[in-house]
Chain A
């Protein structure tokens, strides 16, 4: 043939989402990961081996999540090991085990960012939603302790029909307890969220779009912390997009489950065909370079995205929002993101964001 083969560049692996335990002390009604038990969690040596490999590959940041990471007795040992490799750490937790001492220890380790889940401004709603009495008080205390230790902790609120109506109160509450930002995750029909969906508890696309408008007009003018509603860029104001990138870094990230399974992200706990090996026996670098799912993602995202995503001006920024969810719904990695496609079909996708 003579012609040179065109190859798609393998981007560096920059981020790992590490679902470090499958144990959890809560039973949240909406959890998409649906943690089970810590029985199959990797031991400390195996976890450190994984981090060692990440360090060798030049990984820049690891998000520690779960399950509840602080259920692990070795969590600070692990965090210290990551920091010794000069890798940044972000931690997602329900905060129940974070008191003043732990918050200070996280500060001393120069953990970059901590997010704590709190779903309401009342204990009644939160405790019922999270399945554990007293969890609200403990999580709120964690945010306060983190603030005291000089963090700007993010409060993460999972939003459904029941608490969306209280958004203004939730935002004011987040600010009052010292949260540095409020992240709103509309609950999706994955994991335990499927059951909520069956009972009509999830917000519709129209309601989520309205919520975004309400945040801009009625909530943000009255508070001093950013509110980050997790919806596709096509529905965000330009001023927001300029300030907050916040996209899924699918071309530079990988997920690592508590038993060592290497996956696209946490989705591996739900869809086994997106699992790519196990770090206890496979080299992370080999998987990153050669796994067919990852190769396919590199070849098709964003250029081969289908449906409304193919016409969207923001596809290079957005990368099709959440490919795991697209796959979960359609078994295709290039399917349009359901939210945008449904909005387009209903005539409520912003026309100014479409070309062709």
Chain B
């Protein structure tokens, strides 16, 4: 399966423990938590979904990889639907 890659037009703004993504063309905003920020930064087209799950579960001490996989799928789907990422 293709790796996810961020849409270059999207702007990431980090504000302490919160962040958001902004699409200047549509004005759409998506909020991110710390895990979301890490995932976003790994969506550079060079990391597979499995690699992203590995990194995130280690970084945030996530107990279940199954739960992490489902959360990641939901998150990526949401971003893809909003045209914030595409499959490289």
A interface with B by C-beta (< 8 Å): 237-239, 241-242, 302, 313-317, 350, 352-353, 355
Contact = CB atoms under 8 A, between A and B. Distances in A.
Q: Determine chain B's interface SS by DSSP, over half rule.
A: strand
A353 B24 CA distance: 12
B15 A242 contact: no
B11 A242 contact: no
B31 A355 contact: no
A302 B31 CA distance: 21
B82 to A, nearest CB: 14
Q: For chain B, which range describes its interface: under 10, 10 to 19, 20 to 34, or 35 or more residues?
A: 10 to 19
8 contacts: A237-B15, A238-B19, A239-B18, A313-B11, A313-B22, A313-B27, A314-B29, A352-B13
B22 A355 contact: yes
Contact of B15 (A238, A315, A317): A238
Given A314-B29, A352-B13, A355-B11, A238 B24 contact: no
- Which of B14, B15, B22, B29 has the most A CB atoms < 10 Å from its CB? B29
Nearest to A312: B27
Nearest to A355: B24
A313 B29 contact: yes
A158 B18 CA distance: 30
B12 to A, nearest CB: 10
Given A237-B18, A241-B31, A352-B14, 7 more contacts: A239-B18, A239-B31, A302-B27, A314-B29, A350-B15, A352-B15, A355-B22
Interface in B1-56: 11, 13-15, 18-20, 22, 24, 27-29, 31
A314 B22 CA distance: 9
Nearest to B14: A352
B22 to A, nearest CB: 5
B27 A315 contact: yes
Contacts of A352: 13-15
Contacts of A241: 31
A316 B28 CA distance: 8
Contacts of A355: 11, 22, 24
A238 B18 contact: yes
Nearest 4 CB-CB pairings of A with B = A316-B27, A238-B18, A352-B13, A238-B31
